[in-house]
Amino acid sequence: MGVRYHHISNADLGERNTGINEVLAYVGVTFFTPQLSLTQREARP
């Protein structure tokens, strides 16, 4: 879970440079799957 600030502009290359400012919230989910050990992999058909 977190919050991020993001700014986009045209680097003052154009006539107008209003830019966009955003605050982004994000949530991540992680899950782990069981892995077979080396001996279990060799024993599988």
Give residue 25's identity as a one-letter amino acid code: A
- What are the Cα distances from residue 39, in Å, to 35, 42, 44, 45? 11, 5, 9, 12
Q: Where are the domains of the chain?
A: 2-43
Please give the pLDDT value at position 35: 74
Q: What pTM was computed for the model? A: 0.44
Per-residue pLDDT tens listing for the chain (45 residues): 999 999 999 988 888 888 899 999 999 998 888 776 666 666 666
Give residue 36's identity as a one-letter amino acid code: L
Contact 35, 9 (CB under 8 A): no
